[in-house]
Structure 1
């Protein structure tokens, strides 16, 4: 399942791009759902990601940037023909924001150091 650890909007002067995702490489995006469970995602600079959903399942796929958003296409465990896009947030380790999960739930996301 594509985790929605995902990057929400932060007001900025210019449209965010792939360079704004660099702080996530080598670190962990942690999404906390309303039920208190967490999901984790690890972005790689080559356009791939790996994730661990809030129910413990592993997923992986590809990411790309379109119109100031990061878009995720799940490839495993089940290939999905649709991608999920969310606004890119700018910031480094410790940055926290509110986002929407692929399920529509409001989640809290934090960029944490390490894997």
Structure 2
């Protein structure tokens, strides 16, 4: 059996990898105009459904900083890109480790 600390270390790496990929997809959506970066006041004034395609300036700034820290921590060479098969494996491993540490199956929040 693996030690609990080894499981947590693997879970942390997978979590960062999955989060980073989602961040990159958001970055692409912003660049393509599918998501807009807006001041918090504009976001707050929007209806909940309209917020799905908005992100606040502060949240986006924090996400970019988190991406930079992830690159430094994990190493850019460990952050993809992945094939669809590899992407499925990463998510499956993360789901399994979340389950082992007490979450429900299919819990892939990052």
TM-score (norm 1): 0.22
The structure whose residues are more often helix, as a share, is: 2
Bigger-Rg structure (1/2): 2
